[in-house]
Structure 1
Amino acid sequence: MVILLNCAHHLSQRLQTTFVNYGEATMYSLETCPSPWLRSHSVWGRYTVSFLLIITQLGFCSVYFMFMADNLQQIVEEVHVTSNTCQPRKFLVLTPILDIRIYMLTILPFLIMLVFIRNLKVLSVFSTMANITTLGSMILIFEYIIQDIPDPSNLPLMANWKTFLLFFGTAIFTFEGVGMVLPLKNQMKNPQHFPLVLYVGMSLVIFLYSCLGILGYMKFGSDTQASITLNLPNCWLYQSVKLMYSVGIFFTYALQFHVPAEIIIPFAVSQVSQPSSSPAWTWSSP
């Protein structure tokens, strides 16, 4: 990550421009490499990186969409069995009242309106709100999992090898914000301070991921679910955790969608012929 930032910073200085995205950084880097073949095909490096960014970010957005719909479905359909007393969760087999796609269609119009916001400064307001709701939900999660932790000596140190793919997918998903690193750096008032911001932010995230994973496993053992929110008691207090997480993810959706939109929309607009009397549509980073 640091190498990439330094490379982008060097290229922006050399080209005398304030903004270098991932595709441009790859293309300009290949233009200076020793291999003649890579130099002559440097533009394909840009296309490859842009394509992979689109797939990655849209994949993250799809997971977000499913997560919000799934949590909304659980909250709505467990209302009649939710109590005020927070006891260890009893897993109930409930027959879905509505198909999960109905909940997705309910959320979709609000997401469409949200992703029309292009200005990163405006999106930072939503990101701050998301951080607040996420922090509140994590406080409640930690408050619960640190209580009455059973003796962890009987827990296996490693899971079955069949769960490796799940671990790999989860680990990759933690890199969901990598596509926003350069855009956020380029929008900072003092970009030279970004490495410090990155170090502090990544250190905090690693600490929280480690603590949540270790304490969650010690608390629930082999019964740990794919999302730890599914292990929380079925009471109103901890049902609010799902709601706060869903709200937080909703507010950050536009931020994650900004990266593929920034790549796709200019290309799509360039393919549409414009009448000579009409002003050309442009898409530029705010």
Structure 2
Amino acid sequence: MATTGGSSSTAPLLDGSPPTSHRRIVGGATWAQTLGNIVVSIVGTGVLGLPYAFRMAGWLAGTLGVAVAGASTFFCMLLLIQCRDRLEEHEDEEISDQVHIQSYGDLGAKVFGTTGRYLTELLVLTSQAGSAVAYLVFIGQNLSSLFIKTNQSLASPTIFIFCLLLPLEIILSFIRSLSSIAPFSAFADTCNVLAMAIVIKEEIQMFNQFSWERSAFNGTWGLPFAGGVAVFCFDGFSMTLPLEASMADRRKFRWVLLVAFMAITTVYISFGIFGYLAYGDETKDIITLNLPNNWSAIAVKVGLCIALAFTFPIILHPIYEIIEMKLASSGWSQKFCCNAHGERLGLHGARMLVLLIITTVASCIPGFGAFISLVGSTVSAALAFVLPATFHLLLMGSKLKLWQRAVDYLILLVGIAFAGYGTYDALSHHIMGS
């Protein structure tokens, strides 16, 4: 199951230890399996916020924003692969047993040492935490919409987040094996597809009511907002190297990635345009909130909420493991957890503290769309544009032609500017102004 945006909720653990020397493990995935894995890693519930982004930017500006975000993310993923290939070629020239670059963190360590590893993994974990908060906001708002007409006192998303989701997630946090939760990931993806299908069905039924005079461009303030949502929807950057390494024939990965991005971008643009044309200025930040409370819409909302609630521990798994690894290596923790029972108590206590912090943050978020735009404009933009361009410039060195250097610097500068302006816009005009 993808993150709410897109980053994979099944992203492998990026631990803090230095990479070990070993030969590359040859993957066995076919091109079709890899294509499916790419789609699952990128497409998530963030897509249900795209029509609102199109409302904010206008249908033409939103279309261009999604297309540019998709093309830029695809290009920067290729930059990461080039960096990894260059490093492994260099290792082959110097030692017989090459160092396999397994993760984004490994690449950061090769460029900037331990600081680079910590910075890269901090951004990945912050992105995971942002996706976890978005999950809770999404679930809380959808459950709230089911009761808002019958009982206003029970309709607050905060009530569902603290009274229903927090106890459930605390119970699920005791499950150590992700394999027992993994089937819910497929169920969640199915619910995502069904949600999109039902939204499209409702929109087709409203076809005669479409206003083809919807604004194509809603002013400059809407552009960074829509850009942040689009970048969030293409999130899944930390899976680039593992996905490429998983293929039996790695030479085909670029073409598989291109096909996946073309298909995903087309779906995103179509979904955003039709949602905005159907509901116009009434488009909610989660498009399922525009659906009538009939049996099909209620079934999809409940199904989405159940599936996401049970896949939520997968989102938090990398965070749990990083924290537990640090606790296990700290001196005071070893003194406190002097036996197996104390160790289990310490680990479960740490997990519950993480859950409490994330649910508290989620209860303070005024809107799903504003939040995912903020995450997209900050950590997602740094992971997708700033770091890949920086790594490519530093690692490829003299191998780069002038135009390649120019493109890298352009991506780097635009990425930094977008992150700064998008953060200001999301905070000042959408979050603080809510």
Q: TM-score range by the shorter chain?
A: 0.7 to 0.9
Shift in Å, 1:130: 1.3
Say if 2:318 is the partner of 1:259: yes
Contact 1:115 1:254 in 2 (8 A): yes
Say if 2:163 is the partner of 1:103: no
Contact 2:103 2:238 in 1 (8 A): no
Say if 2:244 is the partner of 1:207: no
1:223 to 282, 285, 291: 282
Contact 2:328 2:334 in 1 (8 A): no
Contact 1:145 1:216 in 2 (8 A): yes
**Letter in structure 2 aligned against 1:72:** L
1:178 to 204, 223, 237: 237
**Letter in structure 1 aligned against 2:118:** Y
| Correspondence 1:232-243 to 2 at 5 A | 232-243=291-302
Moved more, 7-16 or 144-153: 7-16
Distance 2:314 2:146 in 1: 25
3-state DSSP of counterpart to 1:156: coil
| Correspondence 1:158-197 to 2 at 5 A | 158-183=217-242, 188=246, 190=248, 192=250
Contact 1:225 1:231 in 2 (8 A): yes
Contact 1:8 1:25 in 2 (8 A): yes
Contact 1:8 1:20 in 2 (8 A): no
Q: Summarize the Cα distance change of 1:96–1:170 in structure 2 as closer, same or farther, 3 Å threshold.
A: farther
Shift in Å, 1:103: 1.0
Distance 1:126 1:5 in 2: 31
Please report the TM-score for the alignment, with normalisation by the length of structure 1: 0.73
**Letter in structure 1 aligned against 2:146:** I
Distance 1:210 1:23 in 2: 32
Contact 1:180 1:256 in 2 (8 A): no
Shift in Å, 1:53: 1.4
What is the alpha-carbon root mean square deviation over aligned residues? 3.4
Shift in Å, 1:65: 1.0
Say if 2:80 is the partner of 1:4: yes
2:105 to 9, 18, 23: 23
Distance 1:207 1:254 in 2: 31
Shift in Å, 1:119: 5.8
Contact 2:143 2:157 in 1 (8 A): no
Contact 2:108 2:120 in 1 (8 A): yes
Deviations 1:163-215 (A, max 9, x none): 345323322321343334445566x4748376565444433322221111011
Q: Determine which structure has the larger helix proportion and give its number.
A: 2
**Letter in structure 2 aligned against 1:141:** V
The equivalent of 2:137 in structure 1 is: 66
Aligned pairs, how many? 255
Structure 1 gaps of 5+ residues are 31-40, 81-93
The equivalent of 1:54 in structure 2 is: 125
Shift in Å, 1:139: 1.3
Contact 1:27 1:43 in 2 (8 A): yes
Distance 2:235 2:290 in 1: 24
Deviations 1:1-22 (A, max 9, x none): 1222343466568464566221
The equivalent of 1:88 in structure 2 is: none
Distance 1:73 1:27 in 2: 44
The equivalent of 1:84 in structure 2 is: none
Distance 1:157 1:238 in 2: 29
Q: Summarize the Cα distance change of 1:95–1:57 in structure 2 as closer, same or farther, 3 Å threshold.
A: same
Moved more, 226-235 or 148-157: 148-157
Sequence identity percentage = 28
Shift in Å, 1:232: 1.2
Say if 2:194 is the partner of 1:136: yes
1:146 to 204, 221, 229: 204
Deviations 1:95-135 (A, max 9, x none): 33364333112112333444555666666533212111211
Contact 2:142 2:289 in 1 (8 A): no
3-state DSSP of counterpart to 1:153: coil
The equivalent of 1:34 in structure 2 is: none
Contact 2:103 2:242 in 1 (8 A): yes
**Letter in structure 1 aligned against 2:108:** T
Moved more, 123-132 or 107-116: 107-116
Contact 1:71 1:246 in 2 (8 A): yes
Q: Summarize the Cα distance change of 1:278–1:252 in structure 2 as closer, same or farther, 3 Å threshold.
A: closer
Please report the TM-score for the alignment, with normalisation by the length of structure 2: 0.50
3-state DSSP of counterpart to 2:296: helix
Distance 2:170 2:227 in 1: 31
Moved more, 193-202 or 143-152: 193-202
Shift in Å, 1:237: 2.0
Distance 2:82 2:183 in 1: 28
Contact 1:142 1:212 in 2 (8 A): yes
Deviations 1:200-234 (A, max 9, x none): 44333222211110111111122212111121112
3-state DSSP of counterpart to 2:334: coil
Distance 1:7 1:123 in 2: 34
